[in-house]
Amino acid sequence: MKVVKFGGSSLASGAQVEKVYHIIAADPERKIVVVSAPGKRYSDDIKVTDLLIGCAEKYLKGQDAHQLVEAILSRYESIAQELHLSNEVIRKISDDLLTLLSGDKSNPASFIEAVKASGEDNNAKLIAAALKHKGLDAHYVSPKEAGLLVSNDPGNARVLSQSYERLYELRNRPGITVFPGFFGYNTNGDVVTFSRSGSDITGSILANGVKAELYENFTDVDAVHAVNPNIVHHPKEIRELTYREMRELSYGGFSVFHDEALIPAFRAGIPVNVKNTNNPEAPGTRIVSARKNTDGPVVGIASDDKFCSIYVGKYLMNREIGFGRKILLILEEFGLSFEHIPSGIDDMTVIVRQNQMEEKVEKKIMQRIMADLDADEVRVEHDLALIMLVGEGMRQKVGTMARASRALADAKINIEMINQGSSETSMMFSVKEAVERKAVQALYHEFFAEVRV
């Protein structure tokens, strides 16, 4: 049994859904289908989820939203028309959406959650109808009915472990189950969504729940690339990488596959195959527990910007037990999570994502550290990029750091920071944002020279 997930662009039009049908029909093991909401048909298009968020906000403010509602429904309608579906499913979707929008708004956050999630939910109904119309024995199943329980963190839900046992029952359903991605239900029965692009997470949870042999994740690229194609033209495609490598790459700015979505599949040891709806013949990228290292120490290079560093210096800091902990406590009180903590003898630097710190907060944090810890110096540096070299083979291979740092030096790039050693599959370099592209290109050239364009 395979769990197959289709992203928004794979479901944006009737023509796309046609491709989805052929993919599902081609393999009887593809028994569980997880769908996103209809995505963009062209680059200026608006995703249904974004329309829904706008719509929910207007409803909450008591503003007229009929144009948005029409825009949303017309997306489903145009797909249904393209595929010559009966009106029945569109009527159902329309009724469900209008009922939802005119329903209880006493908890605005909860209302927005439910409206947001309806994009996937209604699309699952539509896709089930489309597959049925094409002759497949497909059925919509709601996450509530299936027992997908999640924590009550709107926009950031986590699956509750008791879900897995219930989800196992999906195995016993006849035909093809079409399941909406992106959300589950809290123990009160309210909709709670995962983070954006969370349909990947649903697919992974279901793959774990039913103990699938494979989790196929269909998107609109042939494979995961070794580096961001906006930085290096036509980069190498990755055939196979480990869960750990994929997790490090997605953390470092790779958006092909959702950062957290790997965990449930990893826990159950289920391989993930990232494939292209528009080119299903391409082998795609397989994410597995272990792989043979045949092609160099580095499998991919990820980079992300908008980091900043908080430097704290104090003489004899090293002798003060608890100093580091107190800095982290202050950040925690301001709700900040940190990325890395390089340290010297008498100083410590905490790297955080810049979007967590408004100017005011930054000032307050600096004052608190200065006052509470009697620091000699506190300063914040902005506009840093983090670059991750990722590969299981790096640790065994002496000389990877030498190659990487030589490549950066030859490109005249100053390394602001290096963090290497805790993770066995990555090395982190920090450089100024202004030289991020140049740095990634230099590293790519060093480790993937033979395929350089």
For 317, phi and psi rounded to 5 degrees? -50, -40
Smallest gap from Cβ 161 to a second copy, in A, equals 12
Of 123 and 354, nearer to a second copy (C-beta) is 354
Q: What is the residue whose two structure tokens read 């708004």?
A: 105
Smallest gap from Cβ 204 to a second copy, in A, equals 13
Smallest gap from Cβ 382 to a second copy, in A, equals 15
Smallest gap from Cβ 415 to a second copy, in A, equals 6
Whole-angstrom distance, CA of residue 115 vs CA of residue 432: 40
- β-pairing verdict for 300-313 and 347-353: antiparallel
Smallest gap from Cβ 350 to a second copy, in A, equals 9
Whole-angstrom distance, CA of residue 20 vs CA of residue 134: 11
Of 263 and 370, nearer to a second copy (C-beta) is 263
Smallest gap from Cβ 388 to a second copy, in A, equals 9
Smallest gap from Cβ 325 to a second copy, in A, equals 4
Of 25 and 336, nearer to a second copy (C-beta) is 336
HSE of 379, CA atoms in CB hemisphere, 13 A? 5
Go through the chain and tell me how many residues it has.
453
Of 82 and 347, nearer to a second copy (C-beta) is 347
- Token pair in block for residue 137: 């024995």
The answer to whether 388 and 249 have CB atoms below 8 angstroms apart is yes
Whole-angstrom distance, CA of residue 199 vs CA of residue 179: 10
Of 26 and 402, nearer to a second copy (C-beta) is 402
- Return the DSSP state at 55: H
Q: What is the 3-state secondary structure (H, E, C) of 205-239?
A: HHHHHCCCCEEEEEECCCCEECCCCCCCCCCCEEC
Of 140 and 215, nearer to a second copy (C-beta) is 215
Of 91 and 196, nearer to a second copy (C-beta) is 196
Smallest gap from Cβ 198 to a second copy, in A, equals 14
The answer to whether 112 and 101 have CB atoms below 8 angstroms apart is no
- Token pair in block for residue 237: 């495609």
- 315: CB partners within 8 A, 6+ apart: 346, 376
Of 29 and 333, nearer to a second copy (C-beta) is 333
Q: By the criterion CB under 8 A, which residues form the site for a second copy?
A: 247-248, 251, 260, 263, 266, 311, 315-316, 318-322, 324-325, 328-329, 332, 335-349, 395, 398-399, 401-402, 405-406, 408-409, 412-423, 425-426, 430
Whole-angstrom distance, CA of residue 267 vs CA of residue 145: 24
